[in-house]
Chain A
């Protein structure tokens, strides 16, 4: 459990089932047929990066690899393409985890951006290397930008269960 710069409040320990639930929810969001819209972020990579920053000992490269394989099969992409990208992003995130939480949320998002960009670039590079093809257009890199913008919101949302008080106080519910 790590405190952050903006609040010195000590959070509750995270519940393992909540990590699993949020990862599953992100996977389901990715499986939705949203490919018709431009710039829909890769939710799974975002949530993976989040948890490997907050809880590097619980969410690691093994989980990232398995989820990446699931995405590969569902997405009809090359087997290992998502897996490689997620593993690299998770490694980067867990090595950032010691210092990034001392920054305010906006600056955290700036440090997350290269990681999310890496996910797209690795997939693009592997694709070029193995099969070939041309540049899919700048809209392909719009996803990470939007994901970066949603980082503060995601942080608040995923930390909500840890903000609850230990003893319930009828006068002050939060």
Chain B
């Protein structure tokens, strides 16, 4: 090398020793992360270093975006403006009626001594990027612990449910999309009121499982959240049935759905506040406390297990 004396004696540990050290370290990390799920703190600390790098990587794209936004022609802006004004006028009638309906609904619910519906509140966030991982459907948004985002919060866009926050870093948060293989959402069919659970397939589609072959489901049926999980507020659109296969050799129908929200798009989303915990009856709460020996960091996991048991 260069002009240094040849390193006869200072070569450090043998390459094979180094290799086994690093391999052992990585394997330990892998096991600790995948099996024991105890590295969330380490991940958060590391993200403090990678976050500025990510910002740096996205900087050119953002600058270009800003610049092109700056030079958008006036006519296009005017067009858009008139369009938006018209859309607002169109919506005003529905909005005014909704307000009146909400009040009426609250009054009727009070009369019936039912619990009041919770208002949906939240904060908007920008999707930064989708994870490179080909195995999972996850996106990263630009709100994190700093903005009081918590794991488990539902994420929606203007058309419906997008997913659920599964990991929170200081400045960003990771959202598992409803099309992810590990994500499940309790839903109900709007037309019939049938309750079920929808599973992501990992290829952009969703599937309604465990419904009998003769179930009343048609193509085009809209599924909304049922709110039974205590995480998602009831009534948000989730998916639309696109294909129903009734094979007599299986006892269940195979029902495939497409998400209604722009799950694979890059746009703005809204992180809804978590719902207050539903108080369980005493006996149930005791059972649950006995079962939750190992609280999992991923709410999707825990929820799925519980649903399977039911």
Q: Is the interface of B mostly helix, strand, loop or mixed?
A: helix
Query: Does A73 lie within 8 Å of B138, measured CB to CB?
Result: no
What are the 4 closest A-B residue pairs judged by CB atoms, nearest first? A80-B29, A130-B34, A33-B129, A84-B26
Given contacts A31-B129, A83-B29, A84-B22, 18 further A-B contacts (CB under 8 A): A31-B58, A32-B61, A33-B58, A35-B130, A70-B46, A73-B43, A73-B46, A75-B131, A75-B133, A76-B140, A79-B39, A79-B42, A80-B33, A87-B26, A88-B19, A130-B31, A133-B181, A136-B135
Tell which of A94, A130, A137 touches B30, judged by Cβ atoms closer than 8 Å: A130
Closest to B128 in A: A33
Closest to B32 in A: A79
Q: A75–B26 Cα gap in the complex (Å)?
A: 16
Q: A131–B300 Cα gap in the complex (Å)?
A: 14
Query: Does A81 lie within 8 Å of B30, measured CB to CB?
Result: yes
Query: Does A78 lie within 8 Å of B33, measured CB to CB?
Result: yes
Chain B residues in 8 Å Cβ range of A163? none
Q: A65–B24 Cα gap in the complex (Å)?
A: 12
What's the nearest-Cβ distance from chain B to residue A37, in Å?
11
**Is A173 an interface residue when CB atoms closer than 8 A count as contact?**
no
CB-CB under 8 A for A84 and B23, given A57-B1, A91-B15: yes
Q: A73–B45 Cα gap in the complex (Å)?
A: 10
Query: Does B174 lie within 8 Å of A74, measured CB to CB?
Result: no
Query: Does A13 lie within 8 Å of B19, measured CB to CB?
Result: no
Q: A37–B51 Cα gap in the complex (Å)?
A: 23
- How many residues on chain B are close to A (CB under 8 Å)? 48
CB-CB under 8 A for A80 and B27, given A70-B46, A136-B135: yes
Query: Does A80 lie within 8 Å of B30, measured CB to CB?
Result: yes
Q: How many CB-defined contacts (below 8 Å) exist between A and B?
A: 127
Query: Does B22 lie within 8 Å of A87, measured CB to CB?
Result: yes
Interface flags, B131-150, vs A, CB<8A=1, else 0: 11111101010000000000
**Is A95 an interface residue when CB atoms closer than 8 A count as contact?**
yes
Listed by A's residue number, 12 A-B pairs whose Cβ atoms lie within 8 Å are A28-B56, A31-B54, A32-B61, A35-B133, A62-B18, A64-B22, A75-B131, A76-B133, A87-B23, A130-B31, A130-B33, A130-B34
Chain B residues in 8 Å Cβ range of A62? 18, 22
**Is A174 an interface residue when CB atoms closer than 8 A count as contact?**
no
CB-CB under 8 A for A74 and B35, given A13-B2, A65-B22, A79-B42: no
Query: Does B34 lie within 8 Å of A78, measured CB to CB?
Result: yes
**Is B50 an interface residue when CB atoms closer than 8 A count as contact?**
yes
Query: Does B15 lie within 8 Å of A77, measured CB to CB?
Result: no
Chain A residues in 8 Å Cβ range of B96? none
**Is B276 an interface residue when CB atoms closer than 8 A count as contact?**
no
Query: Does A35 lie within 8 Å of B132, measured CB to CB?
Result: yes
Q: A96–B25 Cα gap in the complex (Å)?
A: 24
Q: A87–B22 Cα gap in the complex (Å)?
A: 7
Closest to A73 in B: B46
Residue of B29, B35, B181, B266 contacting most chain A CB atoms (<10 Å): B29
Tell which of A69, A76, A79, A88 touches B131, judged by Cβ atoms closer than 8 Å: A76
Query: Does A76 lie within 8 Å of B49, measured CB to CB?
Result: no
**Is A144 an interface residue when CB atoms closer than 8 A count as contact?**
no
**Is A148 an interface residue when CB atoms closer than 8 A count as contact?**
no
What's the nearest-Cβ distance from chain A to residue B164, in Å?
14
